[in-house]
Structure 1
Amino acid sequence: MLTRKQKEEIVQKLRKEFEEVPAVFVTTFRAMTAEESNELRKKLREKGARYQVVKNTLLRRASSGTPAEPLQEFIEGPTGVAICYEDPVEVAKVLVEFAKEHESLINRGGVLGGKPLEAASLEALAKVPPREVLMAQLLGLLQAPMAQFVQLMAAVPRNFLFALNAIKEKKAEEAA
């Protein structure tokens, strides 16, 4: 049983994290073994997130008045939160894949940039390519017009040379 002071410390710590992190995801777990829980925590830690089981009342208190306040609509049953410190897309992928492999975990939703995410939106977020791929695609889109312009400008003298060469060959045939 937690003392009042311990509960206050948990609420203060969560509140501080909720104000700083880009995303928080809420899950419900039923009959999750310690081994499964450790596996989930390890996978999330590798992606820059922390998974914590929190009492619903403490989670409601900690999230109220923060960008994570929309979490309150997803709090139901035994609740765990995945707090993202880095890329929310990678964390969403881990949660969705883990939920598919283990029936004991149910993704309820979350908050991304202060906006609520339903469970379906969480799955859609998990399908987004990694940040590096998106950056490469954007770079390709930005470079394409310039590359086409360079090719176009190089084609003008090249085509002129082909025309001159054709004229030279035609005159060589007429002379012979």
Structure 2
Amino acid sequence: MTREQKTELVAELKQKFETTPYFYIVSASGMNSAETSNLRRMCYERGVEYRVIKNTLIKKALEDQEVDYAPFNDNVLKGFSGVMFHPESGKVPAQLIKDYRKKSGKDKLQFKGASVDASLFIGADQIDRLIALKSKQEMLGEVIAILQSPAKNVLGALQSGGHKLAGILKTLSEKEEQAA
């Protein structure tokens, strides 16, 4: 790869890291071509972009970002690295990694680190935590449901109370008519 190609790739990666809030760094070393093909197929099916990139190029692309990715330099950007990008969810790549490992063996695809909405997750023990994360849409849905709940309760009480009040008034008016 020429110096110009590397510069172009770093610029492209910088843009990708800026615009994609969810990316994972994994190690797929020791995988044969069939296993790698399986991984790429799973990524494609789930809308995950997977690219194998040299660690030095990843480091250069992460240097000028708003988020401090320095913790990645110590453990994450060592050895063979592949980057998984997903534009909408921080959960999808984590689930993909877990599913792939269950299917192909725990030693085949190693999770090294991730950035989810500028929060860093480092180490294989973080994968279950990432799967449990809720997306922004899920959290907004829960907040809206919580906010709507009291309003629905008040409306329900007013409507049922209104029916009761109308029934009482009707009964009283009928009693007055019978008494007269």
Give me the whole-angstrom Cα distance separating, in 2, the residues matched to 1:94 and 1:61: 27
Show the counterpart of 2:5.
6
Worse overlay, 84-93 or 123-132: 123-132
Show the counterpart of 1:173.
none
Does the CA-based 8 Å contact 2:86-2:92 persist in structure 1? no
Instruction: Select 1:85's aligned residue among 79, 87, 105.
Output: 87
Worse overlay, 117-126 or 142-151: 117-126
Show the counterpart of 2:158.
153
Q: How far apart are residue 78 of structure 1 and its match?
A: 1.0
Change (3 A) 1:28 1:67: farther
Change (3 A) 1:33 1:6: same
Unaligned runs of 5+ in 2: 176-180
Give me the whole-angstrom Cα distance separating, in 2, the residues matched to 1:60 and 1:149: 55
Q: How far apart are residue 87 of structure 1 and its match?
A: 2.0
* Length-normalised TM-score, structure 1: 0.77
Show the counterpart of 1:105.
109
Does the CA-based 8 Å contact 1:47-1:90 persist in structure 2? yes
Give me the whole-angstrom Cα distance separating, in 2, the residues matched to 1:130 and 1:42: 24
3-state DSSP of counterpart to 2:50: strand
Pairing of 1:20-31 with structure 2 (within 5 A): 20-31=19-30
1:138-170 Cα distance to aligned partner (Å, 9 max, x none)? 332222111100111122233335556887999
Give me the whole-angstrom Cα distance separating, in 2, the residues matched to 1:68 and 1:33: 35
Change (3 A) 1:110 1:133: closer
Q: How far apart are residue 38 of structure 1 and its match?
A: 2.4
Worse overlay, 40-49 or 151-160: 40-49
Letter in structure 2 aligned against 1:151: G
Change (3 A) 1:133 1:58: closer
Show the counterpart of 1:140.
145
Does the CA-based 8 Å contact 2:90-2:135 persist in structure 1? no
Count matched residues.
171
Q: How far apart are residue 132 of structure 1 and its match?
A: 5.5
Show the counterpart of 1:174.
none
Letter in structure 2 aligned against 1:64: E
Within the alignment, does 1:17 sit opposite 2:16 as a pair?
yes
Show the counterpart of 2:73.
72
3-state DSSP of counterpart to 1:108: strand
Change (3 A) 1:94 1:114: same
Show the counterpart of 1:114.
118
Letter in structure 1 aligned against 2:114: G
Q: How far apart are residue 67 of structure 1 and its match?
A: 4.2
Does the CA-based 8 Å contact 1:47-1:86 persist in structure 2? no
Worse overlay, 136-145 or 22-31: 136-145
- Identity of counterpart residues, as a percentage? 22
Give me the whole-angstrom Cα distance separating, in 1, the residues matched to 2:50 and 2:128: 18
